[in-house]
């Protein structure tokens, strides 16, 4: 009986003979969407399981006092699993996926298929103030990459299947297949051509079918649009757009500041101790920050602020609008702090849902204030559109923000205010925060994939693969005769790097420069390389981007440039090899 490997080889051979490449990509996109949907369901159900355990009848009586201890227990469990079982860094889902696309040709480590599935439900289920969308995308992307590798698909297809997995995960999470496709295109800068659109559609539909099959019509946000858009409210929506833009800038800035603060601690255990007790203390004072926060969103959409704030341990007069506004503002302000602290302490989760919670609270606050001051606007509409404004600003994903809110609520009648608020919020945030939380670190390193194909190709090229080392090294004290005997006679190259005894680069000698002296034998023992060498027209550093390398070739006019790493010479890059590699990568990503 044939073993598994032999059987798989036969399947691959049969596939090559009977199924075209495009048809096979369609099949894989359906499979990837299905698996991403299953992964999302596992994430959600595991999280609900932990929440159900912690909300049990015995615990519920003393639940308030345990708001402090639950997240600490959860973060310590995650720390143990990460360091003792998985023993590898999990990272933030979408950021690590973007890095894999830009610098690893879409190759994602296999352990990421299950790492987030284990750790994210514990983080969120025990009260960590983060979401599940990032982990669901991370799990799906790893599955998409793994399937592409299994079937030996090229780089372009591997990246497309990662996008398909993302669409399947988002579609399954929110039952919003159109928004899921837009999210995959917008976040991962995929080409929205026919060749990629059909697989994305198939994956997104697969993901949503999985969700419907296992969960029926049950949705995370079960609200349906009740109030129409009124043109008289347009000024208030402009104010909301400005408010959500300011809140998005705050969200991003506080994330960067808290992350920077925790990065000063070299020990992950120290981060855990400080972060765990900080998040525990915040949840003790403001229990609605506990977990993802869907209850807050749904309650506010149903005009039920009392239910949204029901976990608060304070005596609240819910007839006093200003008291309700105060506590909703506290949730708006501290949700970003609680989320970032959860991450900094080692928790695993996403930022997608926290932005929705923060946006819903802020939008509801706007509506309450306007109505209290004599206006008459729809609280549910402002709650919805506040969510879209925060999502557009924080995630830098305006189209996703518009279509997700419209699709999950059936609120297509709100397209005008959605577009207005999203445009204002995104533009304002972009002015002050050039990159989103997902992309800031990649952008700093010049590793951020964009819709600019030329830049993407250059970013995906690796400088290590371009370095040539078959150059004969010479030293400054070497004589002309010795160089001719030991270097020129044994080299097929016309350039010779000059190094000192510590392998540091000093300059170059060109064959053309010494050709007139090659037959002057009286100079063989008297003329040294130190006299003959000259500076290189430019130097490439090992951490230079390919775009910068190309710029140096353009400015210098050279055909070969030396590469330096840690002040030591390691080889040369030739313009011809660089352009050849660029052309090969471009064909690989477009054909």
Contact 167, 184 (CB under 8 A): yes
Instruction: Give the residue carrying structure tokens 């392998």.
Output: 503
Domain covering 461-590 in this structure, CATH number: 3.10.580.10
- Domain layout of the chain by residue ranges: 4-215, 231-454, 461-590
pTM of the complete model: 0.78
What is the CATH architecture assignment of 4-215? Answer: Orthogonal Bundle (1.10)
> Which CATH class, in words, describes the domain spanning 231-454?
mainly alpha
What is the CB neighbour count within 10 angstroms for residue 12?
13
Helix (H) or strand (E) holding 506: strand 505-510
- Note whether 4-215 and 231-454 share their fold: yes
In tens digits, the chain (591 residues) has pLDDT values of: 457 777 777 777 777 777 888 888 899 999 999 999 999 999 989 998 888 888 755 555 566 667 778 888 999 999 999 888 888 878 777 777 777 777 777 788 888 888 888 999 999 988 888 888 888 988 998 999 889 888 888 878 888 898 899 999 999 988 888 989 998 888 776 665 656 788 999 999 999 999 888 877 655 666 667 777 788 889 999 999 999 999 999 999 999 999 889 988 888 889 999 999 999 889 888 888 888 888 888 888 888 888 888 777 777 777 888 998 999 999 999 999 999 999 889 888 888 889 999 999 999 999 999 999 988 888 988 999 999 999 999 988 899 999 888 887 765 778 889 999 999 999 999 999 887 777 776 665 555 555 555 566 666 677 888 888 888 888 888 888 888 888 888 888 889 999 988 889 988 888 888 888 877 787 888 888 888 888 888 998 988 888 888 889 888 888 889 999 888 999 998 888 888 887 777 666 554
Residue 460: CB atoms within 10 A of its CB come to 22
DSSP 3-state percent helix, strand, coil across the chain (nearest 5): 70, 5, 25
Q: In whole angstroms, what separates CA 241 from the centre of its chain?
A: 25
In the numeric block, the tokens 């912690």 are attached to 54
Other Cβ atoms closer than 10 A to 340: 26
Report the b/e string of 166-203 with b at 16+ CB within 10 A: bbbbbbbbbbbbbbbbbbbbbbbbbbeeeebeebbbbb
Q: What is the dihedral of CA 578, 579, 583, 588, to 10 degrees?
A: 10
Q: 511 to each of 75, 472, 479, 518, 539, how far by Cα in Å?
A: 64, 12, 15, 10, 19
């Amino acid at each position: 009986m044939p073993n598994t490997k032999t059987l798989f080889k036969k399947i691959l051979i049969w596939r090559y003979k009977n199924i075209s490449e495009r048809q096979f990509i369609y099949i894989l996109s359906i499979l990837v969407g299905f698996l991403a949907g299953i992964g999302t369901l596992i994430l959600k159900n595991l999280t609900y399981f932990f929440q159900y355990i912690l909300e049990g009848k015995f615990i519920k009586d003393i639940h308030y006092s345990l708001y402090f201890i639950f997240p600490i227990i959860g973060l310590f469990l995650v720390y143990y699993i990460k360091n003792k079982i998985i023993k590898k860094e999990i990272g933030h889902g979408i950021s690590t996926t973007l890095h894999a696309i830009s610098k690893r040709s879409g190759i994602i480590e296999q352990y990421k298929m299950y790492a987030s599935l284990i750790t994210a439900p514990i983080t969120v289920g025990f009260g960590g103030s983060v979401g599940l969308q990032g982990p669901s995308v991370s799990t799906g992307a790893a599955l998409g990459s793994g399937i592409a590798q299994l079937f030996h698909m090229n780089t372009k297809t591997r990246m497309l299947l990662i996008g398909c997995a993302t669409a399947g995960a988002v579609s399954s999470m929110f039952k919003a297949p159109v928004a899921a496709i837009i999210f995959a295109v917008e976040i991962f800068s995929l080409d929205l051509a026919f060749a990629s659109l059909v697989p994305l559609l198939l994956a997104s539909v697969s993901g949503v079918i999985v969700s419907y099959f296992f969960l029926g019509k049950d949705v995370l946000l079960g609200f349906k649009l009740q109030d129409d858009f009124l043109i008289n409210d347009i000024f208030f929506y402009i104010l909301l757009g400005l408010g959500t833009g300011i809140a998005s800038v705050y969200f991003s800035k506080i994330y960067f500041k808290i992350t920077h603060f925790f990065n000063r601690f070299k020990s992950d255990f120290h981060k855990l101790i400080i972060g765990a007790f900080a998040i525990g203390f915040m949840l003790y004072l403001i229990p609605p920050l506990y977990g993802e926060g869907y209850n807050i969103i749904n309650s506010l959409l149903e005009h039920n602020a009392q239910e949204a704030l029901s976990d608060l341990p304070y005596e609240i007069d819910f007839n006093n609008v200003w008291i309700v506004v105060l506590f909703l503002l506290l949730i708006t302000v501290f949700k970003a702090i609680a989320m970032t602290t959860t991450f900094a302490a080692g928790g695993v989760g996403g930022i997608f849902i926290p932005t929705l919670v923060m946006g819903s609270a802020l939008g509801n606050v706007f509506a309450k204030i306007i109505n209290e001051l004599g206006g008459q606007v729809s609280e549910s509409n402002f709650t919805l559109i506040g969510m879209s404004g925060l999502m557009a600003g924080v995630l830098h994903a305006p189209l996703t923000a518009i279509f997700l809110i419209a699709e999950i609520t059936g609120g297509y009648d709100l397209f005008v205010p959605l577009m207005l608020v999203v445009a204002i919020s995104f533009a304002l945030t972009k002015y002050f925060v050039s990159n989103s939380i997902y992309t800031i670190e990649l952008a700093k390193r010049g590793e951020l994939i964009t819709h600019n194909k030329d830049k993407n190709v250059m970013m995906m090229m690796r400088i290590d693969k371009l370095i040539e080392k078959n150059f004969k090294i010479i030293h400054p004290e070497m004589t002309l005769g010795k160089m001719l005997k030991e270097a020129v006679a044994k080299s097929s190259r016309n350039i010779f790097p000059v190094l000192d005894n510590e392998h540091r680069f000093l300059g170059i000698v060109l064959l053309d420069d010494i050709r007139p002296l090659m037959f002057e034998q009286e100079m063989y023992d008297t003329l040294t390389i130190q006299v003959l060498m000259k500076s290189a027209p430019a130097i490439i550093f090992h951490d230079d981007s390919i775009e910068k390398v190309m710029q140096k070739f353009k400015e210098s006019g050279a055909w070969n440039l030396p590469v330096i790493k840690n002040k030591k010479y390691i080889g040369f890059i030739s313009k011809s090899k660089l352009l050849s590699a660029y052309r090969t990568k471009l064909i690989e990503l477009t054909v």
